């Protein structure tokens, strides 16, 4: 809080000096927190990169309760911040009401679509990225059975699972995909013990690669996979470093690029919907020193080829959220 | 369904039931002495955080457990002061403790570790490992075929009973111990009396306050072990925010289901643990009955059963008569 106040003080002073010349961007992190090793941390990385490159500053706020959401957006708008970036689909409903009140302010929302003239909506084709890691999972698996652990059972997470299953089937049509969800309430995002149990249950059914799209619950999944000597797949940020040599890869959403671009464009940020997919490197799989030994050249070649085909439109990955059904797996 | 699946399910049941059982016994002591305790969840959470935090910093999981006990006892003392000394509303005090724990753990952990309300992942020395019971065979060192050839009893002993953390065995031992303390010692008799008719205990010249404080303290220690199990006993490896995920409330449901008695508490927690274990294996229903059971139904089972019990269908659940009422001496 003190940091926030200092920032506010500093920005107020700046505003006095510079008049109304340049608005400062602001970013609102969602409930997972700025250092969630995942989604929000990635957004923070993008904002920090922009600040370091330009030497400018940005205002930030970490939500700690649902009730702060609307207040935080309004406060930044009142202060004349622009663009105001919020990460997380939960902000969509309040933003839809607030945006018309501040027609001169630009808003950017990541992971949801808000249809207002002064809002840029950034959405990711998670199903495409999940397809790629699904292929890797199928190729790395020796048992022919791979697992998926989702967080809260919502269409967005089923979209991950559906893309993953399609990728698995593409690489090995005989493979079995076991899909579990942690729960149906938001507590499902923060239940690593349940994540561990689900992973053990999937191992019991023969799975030897498990993909976690489950927020904090994923920590338990990756840990148990490492303890039991099977491979896991991280999500959102590059999580390969969490258990070097035991995390096959991560399905990376480049939230950092989305935030960086929005801040770079400043007040001139283009509104409308921006889709980040495999084609414009918005999603992909992570390859670094930690998992280099796990990905063989053949695997890499196959996935890169699939990525090129997705980008060109030759392969079309089915999006679960489009019609709430999945050709590759029944949830 | 083969025996392997059954054994895996039972193994998972015991692991899942451990924190429930400890929290349930904690509630048992507290409520038998006439102090309702909604704050089981909060005490578990604080202990889970302190256990993981101290285990990481000191490298000793036992010091972590001690820190967890200290933190949980502190919350017990607050609850005791509010509801025994100051005769406040016990439910409100308990709810306040839950909120306090949920907020404080994240704030303190953020300022210690700066990882968004998490503790760093614990290494091998920093968590309770698996205890191999005497005579048990290490199944992980055998192939699946070799395992299948073993006699069923050997597999049951080695797979289901052996290989849990020391805290699980403490939890199981706490059941006969609680029974002995409550029903075979003078302290236990007085403790039960103070929950039924504190005035009679007072007339006999025994301090109601001291008895109630000691009951609340025992509850604190048991909750602390439950919390430590969640964050530091394999397969867990660290704290994340709100990781108790409602287990304190399920423990309360189990307590009502067990009608405030220790042995039935063991049964209730094992049953509820079994439901949670089943939740991780939706495939079993598909294979046995060709039926897709929504996992939400299984996670709601503890509450459904408790409502049935409370409605009086399966015998009546009568809480301790003086429960929830502060004792006023001069009336």
pLDDT tens digit sequence for A53-62: 999 999 999 8
Provide the domain count of chain A: 2
CATH of the domain at B113: 1.10.3470
Number of H helices, E strands in chain B: 14, 0
**pLDDT value of residue A26:** 94
Please name the residues between 45 and 84 in chain A that touch chain B, using a CB distance below 8 Å.
64
Q: What is the pTM of this model?
A: 0.86
Residue where the block lists tokens 């690669």: A209
The series of mean pLDDT values per 10 residues for chain B, 331 residues long, is: 84 94 97 95 96 93 96 97 94 95 91 83 82 77 71 83 92 97 96 94 93 96 96 89 91 92 95 91 84 82 84 79 86 54
Is position A70 within any domain?
yes
Q: Look up the domain containing A219 and give its range.
A: 126-252+283-323
Residue after which a domain boundary falls, among A65, A92, A124: A124
Decide the pairing of beta strands A145-152 and A119-124: unpaired
Helix (H) or strand (E) holding A110: strand A107-110
Question: Chain A residue closest to B245 (CA)?
Answer: A187
Residue after which a domain boundary falls, among A78, A102, A124: A124
Phi, psi of B225 (to 5 degrees): -65, -40
Tell whether A47 and A150 lie within a shared domain. no
Assess A193–B contact: CB distance below 8 Å, yes or no. yes
The per-residue DSSP string of A145-182 comes to: EEEEEEEE-SHHHHHHHHHHHHHHHHH-TT-EEEEEEE
Is position A260 within any domain?
no
Helix (H) or strand (E) holding A250: strand A247-253
By Cβ distance, the residue of B15, B242, B295 closest to A190 is B242
- Mean per-residue pLDDT, A173-180: 95
Phi, psi of A99 (to 5 degrees): -50, -45
The residues near B140 (Cβ < 8 Å, ≥ 6 apart) are none
CA B227 to chain centre: 8
Between A231-245, A256-270, B139-153, B203-217, the lowest mean confidence (pLDDT) is in: B139-153
Q: Do B235 and A194 touch (CB under 8 A)?
A: no
**pLDDT value of residue A21:** 44
Percent of chain A at pLDDT above 90? 73
Tell whether A144 and A117 lie within a shared domain. no
**Neighboring chain B residues of A41 at a CB cutoff of 8 Å:** 116
- A4 has pLDDT over 70: no
Tell whether A289 and A178 lie within a shared domain. yes
pLDDT digits (tens, 9 = 90+) for A76-93: 999 999 899 999 888 999
Tell whether A113 and A133 lie within a shared domain. no
Assess B277–A contact: CB distance below 8 Å, yes or no. yes
Cis peptide before B95 (omega within 30 of 0): no
**Neighboring chain B residues of A197 at a CB cutoff of 8 Å:** 12, 15-16, 276-277, 280
Convert A150-186 to b/e letters by CB count within 10 Å (16 or more is b): bbbbeebbbbbbbbbbbbbbbbbeebbbbbbbbbeeb
d(CA A85, CA A110): 8
**Neighboring chain B residues of A32 at a CB cutoff of 8 Å:** 116
Tell whether A28 and A80 lie within a shared domain. yes
* Residue B258 contacts residue B24 (beta carbons within 8 Å): yes
Assess B130–A contact: CB distance below 8 Å, yes or no. no
**pLDDT value of residue A95:** 94
Q: Do B8 and A184 touch (CB under 8 A)?
A: no
Is position A298 within any domain?
yes
Assess A34–B contact: CB distance below 8 Å, yes or no. yes
Residue where the block lists tokens 């501040």: A102
Q: What is the ipTM of this complex?
A: 0.87
Tell whether A116 and A191 lie within a shared domain. no
* Residue B50 contacts residue B64 (beta carbons within 8 Å): yes
Average pLDDT score over chain A: 89
Provide the domain count of chain B: 1
By Cβ distance, the residue of A32, A188, A223 closest to B235 is A223
pLDDT digits (tens, 9 = 90+) for A118-149: 999 999 999 999 999 999 999 999 999 999 99
Q: Do A187 and B4 touch (CB under 8 A)?
A: no
Decide the pairing of beta strands A176-183 and A107-110: unpaired
User: Residue A6's pLDDT band (boundaries 50, 70, 90)?
Assistant: low
List the A107-110 sheet strands across, edge first: A59-62, A26-29, A84-87, A107-110, A119-124, A272-276
User: Residue A65's pLDDT band (boundaries 50, 70, 90)?
Assistant: confident
Assess A254–B contact: CB distance below 8 Å, yes or no. no
Is position A267 within any domain?
no
Q: Indicate the SS3 state at residue A234.
A: strand
Assess B10–A contact: CB distance below 8 Å, yes or no. no
Question: pLDDT higher for A245 or B287?
Answer: A245
Is position B75 within any domain?
yes
d(CA A304, CA A310): 10
Q: How crowded is residue A30: how many other Cβ atoms within 10 Å of its Cβ?
A: 21
Tell whether A110 and A197 lie within a shared domain. no
Residue where the block lists tokens 């949830």: A331
Helix (H) or strand (E) holding B53: helix B40-58
By Cβ distance, the residue of B16, B114, B245 closest to A187 is B245
Is position A296 within any domain?
yes
Assess B16–A contact: CB distance below 8 Å, yes or no. yes
d(CA A109, CA A210): 30
Tell whether A138 and A153 lie within a shared domain. yes
Decide the pairing of beta strands A272-276 and A119-124: parallel
* Residue B58 contacts residue B82 (beta carbons within 8 Å): no
Tell whether A247 and A306 lie within a shared domain. yes
Partner residues linked to A37 by β-bridges: none
Closest CA to B10 of B155, B225, B176, B166: B155
**pLDDT value of residue B317:** 78
Is position B143 within any domain?
no
* Residue A6 contacts residue A13 (beta carbons within 8 Å): no
By Cβ distance, the residue of A187, A197, A200 closest to B246 is A187
Residue after which a domain boundary falls, among A73, A90, A124: A124
Closest CA to B243 of B63, B112, B47: B47
Residue where the block lists tokens 């007072």: B202
**pLDDT value of residue B331:** 54
Tell whether A246 and A130 lie within a shared domain. yes
C-alpha distance from residue B61 to each of A31, A207, B71, B123, B152 (Å):
30, 31, 15, 10, 34
User: Residue A20's pLDDT band (boundaries 50, 70, 90)?
Assistant: very low
Is position B306 within any domain?
yes
CA A151 to chain centre: 13
Phi, psi of B147 (to 5 degrees): -60, -40
Percent of chain A at pLDDT above 70? 93
Largest CA distance in chain A: 67
CA terminus-to-terminus distance, chain A: 42
Q: Do B276 and A197 touch (CB under 8 A)?
A: yes
Residue B312 is encoded by which pair of tokens? 């009086």
Q: Indicate the SS3 state at residue B75.
A: helix
Tell whether A78 and A185 lie within a shared domain. no
**pLDDT value of residue A3:** 54
Is position A222 within any domain?
yes
CA A326 to chain centre: 21
**pLDDT value of residue A16:** 43
* Residue A329 contacts residue A318 (beta carbons within 8 Å): no
Please state the three-class secondary structure of A10-71 as a single string.
HHHHHHHHHCCCCCCCEEEECCCCCCCCCHHHHHHHHHHHHHHHHCCCCEEEECCCCCHHHH
* Residue A125 contacts residue A111 (beta carbons within 8 Å): no
Q: Report CA torsion sign: A317, A289, A235, A327.
A: positive
* Residue A201 contacts residue A191 (beta carbons within 8 Å): no
The per-residue DSSP string of B203-269 comes to: HTT--HHHHHHHHHHHHHHHHHHHHHHHHHBTT--S--TTTTTTHHHHHHHHHHHTTT-HHHHHHHH
Phi, psi of A61 (to 5 degrees): -150, 135
Is position B262 within any domain?
yes
Tell whether A34 and A100 lie within a shared domain. yes
């Amino acid at each position: 809080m003190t940091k926030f106040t200092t920032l506010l003080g500093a920005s107020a002073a700046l505003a006095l000096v510079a008049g109304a010349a340049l608005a400062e961007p602001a970013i609102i992190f969602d409930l997972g927190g700025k250092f969630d090793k995942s989604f929000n941390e990635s957004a923070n990385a993008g904002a920090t990169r922009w600040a370091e490159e330009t030497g400018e500053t940005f205002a930030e706020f970490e939500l700690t309760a649902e009730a702060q959401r609307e207040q935080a957006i309004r406060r930044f708008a009142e202060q004349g911040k622009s663009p105001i970036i919020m990460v997380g689909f939960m902000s969509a409903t309040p933003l839809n009401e607030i945006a018309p009140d501040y027609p001169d302010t630009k808003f950017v929302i990541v992971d949801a679509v808000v249809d207002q003239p002064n809002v840029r909506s950034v959405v990711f084709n998670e199903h495409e990225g999940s397809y790629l890691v699904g292929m890797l999972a199928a190729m790395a698996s020796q048992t022919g059975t791979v697992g998926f652990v989702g967080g809260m059972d919502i269409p967005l997470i089923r979209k991950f699972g559906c893309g993953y299953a399609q990728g698995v089937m593409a690489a090995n049509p005989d493979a079995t995909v076991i899909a579990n969800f942690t729960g149906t309430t938001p507590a499902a995002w923060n239940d690593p013990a349940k994540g561990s149990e689900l992973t053990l249950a999937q191992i019991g059914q023969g799975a030897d690669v498990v993909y976690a799209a489950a927020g904090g619950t994923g920590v338990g999944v990756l840990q148990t996979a490492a303890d039991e000597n099977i491979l896991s797949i991280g999500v959102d940020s590059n999580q390969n470093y969490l258990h070097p040599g035991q995390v096959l890869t991560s399905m990376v959403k480049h939230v950092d690029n989305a935030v960086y671009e929005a801040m770079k464009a400043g007040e001139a940020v283009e509104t409308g919907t921006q889709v980040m997919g495999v084609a414009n490197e918005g999603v992909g799989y992570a390859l670094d020193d930690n998992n280099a030994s796990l990905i063989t050249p053949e695997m890499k070649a196959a996935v890169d080829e699939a990525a090129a085909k997705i980008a060109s439109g030759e392969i079309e990955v089915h999006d679960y959220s489009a019609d709430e059904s999945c050709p590759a797996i029944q949830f | 369904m083969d025996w392997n699946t059954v054994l895996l399910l039972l193994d998972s049941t015991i692991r899942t039931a451990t924190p429930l059982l400890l929290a349930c016994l904690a509630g048992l002591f507290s409520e038998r002495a006439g102090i309702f305790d909604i704050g089981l969840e909060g005490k578990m959470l604080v202990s889970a955080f302190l256990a993981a935090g101290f285990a990481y910093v000191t490298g000793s999981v036992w010091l972590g457990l001690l820190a967890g006990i200290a933190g949980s006892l502190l919350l017990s003392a607050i609850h005791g002061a509010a509801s025994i000394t100051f005769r406040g509303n016990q439910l409100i005090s308990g709810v306040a403790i839950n909120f306090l724990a949920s907020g404080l753990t994240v704030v303190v952990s953020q300022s210690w570790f700066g990882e968004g309300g998490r503790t760093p992942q614990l290494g091998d020395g920093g968590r309770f490992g698996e205890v191999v019971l005497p005579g048990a065979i290490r199944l992980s060192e055998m192939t699946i075929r070799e395992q299948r050839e073993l006699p069923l009893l050997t597999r049951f002993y080695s797979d289901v009973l052996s290989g849990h953390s020391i805290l699980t065995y403490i939890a199981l031992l706490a059941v006969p111990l609680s029974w002995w303390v409550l029903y075979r010692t003078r302290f236990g008799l007085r403790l039960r009396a103070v929950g039924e008719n504190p005035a009679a205990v007072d007339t006999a010249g025994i301090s109601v306050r001291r008895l109630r404080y000691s009951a609340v303290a025992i509850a604190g220690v048991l909750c602390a072990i439950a919390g430590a199990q969640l964050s530091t006993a394999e397969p867990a490896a660290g704290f994340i925010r709100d990781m108790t995920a409602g287990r304190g409330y399920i423990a309360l449901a189990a307590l009502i289901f067990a009608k405030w008695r220790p042995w039935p508490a063991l049964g209730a927690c094992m049953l509820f643990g079994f439901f949670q274990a089943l939740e991780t294996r939706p495939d079993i229903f598909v294979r046995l009955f060709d039926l897709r059971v929504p996992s939400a139904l299984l996670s709601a089972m503890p509450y459904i059963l408790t409502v049935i019990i409370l409605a009086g269908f399966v015998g009546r659940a009568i809480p301790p008569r003086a429960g929830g009422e502060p004792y006023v001496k001069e009336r």
